[in-house]
Amino acid sequence: MLRIEYVYWACGLLLLAAGAFEFRDRRYPQAAFWTILAVCFVGGDAVSAADRTGNFLPAQLAGIAVIVLAGIAGSGQLARKPTDDSEAPRRRASAERLGNWLFAPALAIPFVTLGLVLVTPYARIGKFALIDAGQSTLIALGTACVIAAVAAMLLTRATVPTALRESTRLLDALSWAALLPMLLATLGAVFAATGVGEAVAHLVSAAIPTQSRDACAFAYGIGMAVFTIIMGNAFAAFPVMTAGIGLPLLVGRHGAHAAVVGSLGMLCGYCGTLLTPMAANFNVVPAALLELRDPNGVIRAQWPTALVLLTTNLVLLDWLAFR
């Protein structure tokens, strides 16, 4: 059966190759960075398995790895390689030659992913499922990427080392931004375990005039947006704000429609996601991927949409929840 672990191992190999290439280029901080991350990917399942049996040592070692990775990132040693434009004429000639076939492997990633997700329920031999249904999207994406990579190698007559050298070049461009989504998810877990969310909800509900229906609705919507800006994730903000304000005040006291409160509350949170560097995989990683000079360039491009939409959501919430 195709399991999510295999996808993580493939990611680990890719990171390990990046570490080896950087080491050969004598870029030691980068080499250490990608190698440590690779070990976390490959050893992740062993960590979780040991954790379940009450052996916390592997998890603690992973914790030390997290601190070391952040230290390397923060030391400013992860300088990017200067971009090389000498290849531009060769690329243009190759683009001429291969024409629209170049789009095929790129489009194979989404289409093969889609196809695999759709066949997952039927891909079985007897009772034996070929793809683990619980994680089908990620497994499908991982498999599609491998298929697309093979197609790209055949099309461009490249070898596996060339493919890995190219992924290293892109990882290099991403630099520490590649790590940020995982670190932020980790911070979310720490905040959840230390009761930060409850403390925020407590403070907000103490500050609003609870007898006013509109004040409660606006506090809930804006609270969702602001807490999402802090946490970088509307899913982390939702249970806290809804348990703190949405359910007791809006639904309980003022009789709001729970489905509307839940739905629009989450959407207010999404407006916050558009505004925060904490939502790294949507805002910071793309800025690095597109090699923008301003790391907040994507947020700058979307804040007007986010604010107008947040206002719209607040009006909708106040109107629809109390029909």
Partner 1 sequence: MNYWPLLGIAIVVIGFARRMNPALVVVVAGIVSGLLAGLSIADLLALLGRAFVSNRFVLVLIMTLPTIGLLERAGLRERAHGWIAGLHHLTLARLLIAYLGVRQILSTLGLISVAGHPQTVRPLLAPMAEAAAEKIDPALDDEQRDRVKALAAATDNVGLFFGEDVFLAFGAVLLIQGFLAQHGIELDPRSIAIWALPTAIAAFVIHALRIVWFQRRLRRNATALARREAGDAAH
State both tokens at 151: 């197609």
Asked if 270 interacts with partner 1 (CB under 8 A), we say yes
Report the distance separating Cα 201 and Cα 178, nearest Å: 31
Q: Which residue among 74, 80, 133, 211 contacts partner 1 (CB under 8 A)?
A: 74
Which residues in the 13-42 window bind partner 1 by CB under 8 A?
14-15, 40-41
**What are 308-312's contacts with CB under 8 Å, separation 24+?**
309/271, 310/221, 310/222, 310/225, 310/268, 310/271, 310/272
* CB-nearer residue toward partner 1: 36 or 219: 36
Residue 316: half-sphere exposure toward Cβ, Cα within 13 Å: 16
Q: Which residue among 1, 79, 133, 155 contacts partner 1 (CB under 8 A)?
A: 155
Q: Strand locations in the chain, DSSP E?
A: 124-125, 128-129
Residue 125 C-beta: closest distance to partner 1, Å: 26
Q: Which residue among 113, 120, 205, 228 contacts partner 1 (CB under 8 A)?
A: 113
Whose tokens are 């062993």? That residue is 46
The one segment of 19-27, 87-95, 125-133, 210-218 that binds partner 1 by CB under 8 A: 87-95
Which residues in the 162-201 window bind partner 1 by CB under 8 A?
162-167, 169-171, 176, 178-191, 193-196, 198-200
Asked if 91 interacts with partner 1 (CB under 8 A), we say yes
Q: Which residue among 109, 119, 130, 208 contacts partner 1 (CB under 8 A)?
A: 109
Residue 7 C-beta: closest distance to partner 1, Å: 6
* CB-nearer residue toward partner 1: 130 or 187: 187
Residue 108 C-beta: closest distance to partner 1, Å: 8
Nearest to 264, CA basis, from 323, 204, 317, 211: 317
The helix/strand/coil state of 2 is strand
User: How many C-beta atoms lie closer than 10 Å to residue 266's C-beta?
Assistant: 18
The helix/strand/coil state of 131 is strand
Q: Could you write out the DSSP letters of every residue in 115-130?
A: HHHHHTTT-EETTEES
Report the distance separating Cα 145 and Cα 105, nearest Å: 9
Residue 222 C-beta: closest distance to partner 1, Å: 16
Number of residues in the chain? 323
Residue 211 C-beta: closest distance to partner 1, Å: 23
Residue 43 C-beta: closest distance to partner 1, Å: 8
Binding residues for partner 1, how many (CB under 8 A)?
A: 148
Binding mask 224-263 for partner 1 (x = CB under 8 A): ------x---xx--xx--xx---x---x------xxx-xx
Q: Confirm if 277 and 299 have CB atoms less than 8 A apart.
A: yes
Residue 212 C-beta: closest distance to partner 1, Å: 23
Report the distance separating Cα 184 and Cα 236, nearest Å: 11
Which residues in the 289-308 window bind partner 1 by CB under 8 A?
289-290, 292-294, 297-298, 300-302, 304-305, 308
